[in-house]
Amino acid sequence: MFRNLVLVGFMGSGKSSVGRILSSLTGFALVDTDTLVAQEAGQSINAIFKQHGEEHFRALETKVLQSLVGRIGLIVATGGGVVTVANNRACLPQIGPVVWLDAGTDQLYQRVRHSKRPLLQTKDPRGTVEELYRAREPLYREVATVRIDSSALTHRQTAEAVLAELQQTQ
Ligand code: S3P
Closest approach atom of ligand 1 to CA 34: 9
Q: Say what the pTM is.
A: 0.97
Summarize pLDDT for 17-73 with one digit per residue, the tens: 999 999 999 999 999 999 999 999 999 999 999 999 999 999 999 999 999 999 999
Nearby residues of 163 by Cβ (< 8 Å), 6 or more positions away: 22, 25, 26
Closest approach atom of ligand 1 to CA 13: 14
Instruction: Tell whether ligand 1 has an atom less than 6 A from the beta carbon of residue 119.
Output: yes
Summarize pLDDT for 112-160 with one digit per residue, the tens: 999 999 999 999 999 999 999 999 999 999 999 999 999 999 999 999 9
pLDDT over threshold 80, residue 170: no
Q: Whose CA is nearest to atom 5 of ligand 1?
A: 79
Instruction: Tell whether ligand 1 has an atom less than 6 A from the beta carbon of residue 97.
Output: no
d(CA 18, CA 7): 9
d(CA 62, CA 56): 10
Q: What domains are defined for the chain?
A: 4-169 (3.40.50.300)
